[in-house]
Structure 1
Amino acid sequence: MDKVFVQGLEVLTTIGVYEWEKGIRQKIRFDLEMGYDNRPAAAGDDISKALDYAALSSKVTAYAEQHQVELVETMAEQVASLILAEFPVLSVKVRLTKPAAVANAAGVGVEIERFTQRSLKAQSD
């Protein structure tokens, strides 16, 4: 399967379990990888058949900025669901990093991968 990716998408949002975190905005970073058939776009050099990663990035940014959650796990799940629902992808991998959350670490976070039903069906055939 072909992959389209967005790397290092940084967003300021309210995220965290501690009371002091609920009153501030913190930077989180998304690395996104989508399963998408690039052949139709490439065959005709046709942008209308390509996955619009600019629109996808804007949608993820707006969502993360507007939704307050406590856990990076929750944000990753919500963003994966958003992408699968609103873009014609077969799968999505979301790596969400919260920089400076732990002293002496560049960042902490989660990575999840989710699939559409048609992708799961194709894999089982």
Structure 2
Amino acid sequence: MADSVLIEGLVVETVVGVYDWEREVTQNLVVDLEMAWDNTVPGRSDDVADALDYAAVSARVESCLQTLRPKLLEHGAEVLARTLREEFGIKWLRLAIRKPGAVPAAQAVGVRIERGEKTETGVR
């Protein structure tokens, strides 16, 4: 089993960056998440209590990054991944954070990390 829950294109407005001017304004970050989750139980029960609450995960992503106000996207990704895994019991996740407009010639710059272990038979 390799089930997952996706949250894609979540926009979070926060302070981010290393330059002095960046510490005085908010900018948008775009977050994509893929989280290992056994979807067979909620798939059978049709009960939201059995599912990973993506609204709660999304709210936690927003509050984490807004409180953290990271200088580096790498730091934001590490803290966010650890927070989500601990608070929601997510065994594996793939996380991307992009910063649109950071480089004029690019649509966005960003980082992507994977944390935990995902196996063919599920997650450990």
TM-score normalised by the chain length of structure 1 = 0.90
Q: Contact conserved, 1:36 with 1:88, CA < 8 A, in 2?
A: no
Does 70-79 or 40-49 show the bigger shift?
A: 40-49
The count of corresponding residues between Structure 1 and Structure 2 is 121
Write out aligned runs for 1:46-125 (5 A). 46-115=47-116
Point out where structure 1 has 5 or more consecutive residues left out of the alignment: none
Runs of 4+ in structure 1 displaced over 3 angstroms? none
**Offset of 1:88 from its aligned partner?**
2.4
The amino acid of 2:66's aligned partner reads E
Q: Which has the higher contact order (CA 8 A, sep 6+)?
A: 2
Corresponding residue of 1:38: 39
Q: Counting helix residues as a fraction of each chain, which structure ranks higher?
A: 1
1:6 matched to 2:7: yes
TM-score normalised by the chain length of structure 2 = 0.91
- Residue 37 of structure 1 aligns to a residue in which SS? coil
| Identity fraction in percent | 38
Point out where structure 2 has 5 or more consecutive residues left out of the alignment: none
CA-atom RMSD, angstroms?
1.8
Instruction: Give the whole-Å Cα distance in 2 for the aligned partners of 1:46 and 1:24.
Output: 41
**Offset of 1:43 from its aligned partner?**
1.3
**Offset of 1:66 from its aligned partner?**
1.6
